[in-house]
Amino acid sequence: MQTYLSIAEIIVAVVLIIAVLTQIKGSGGGVFGSGQSTFRTRRGVERLMFQFTLVLGGIFVLLAIAGLLIG
């Protein structure tokens, strides 16, 4: 069971990293985005990606806690 949790945690971690890196803000581009400090609301795909990243983060935390309790 511990092996399956570890594999699932690695897969979720990789997908989470990709999801975070694909959220580029502004026109600066690059992995770390630009230095804009203006406020704007998330809409469409940007909002969906943000929510997807939050869900992945929650799943990652749950898998990490389950791995600690089982292992």
Who has greater pLDDT, 58 or 38?
58
The answer to whether residue 33 sits within a structural domain is: no
13 vs 64: CA distance, rounded Å: 10
Write the pLDDT tens digit of every residue in 5-46: 999 999 999 999 999 998 866 544 555 555 555 667 778 888
pLDDT tops 70 at residue 3: yes
For 44, phi then psi, to 5°, come to: 65, -130
The answer to whether residue 54 sits within a structural domain is: yes
The answer to whether residue 56 sits within a structural domain is: yes
Amino acid 61: pLDDT = 97
The answer to whether residue 30 sits within a structural domain is: no
Question: Which residues form the domain of 7?
Answer: 2-25+42-70
Kindly report the pTM of this predicted structure: 0.75
Into how many domains does the chain fold?
A: 1
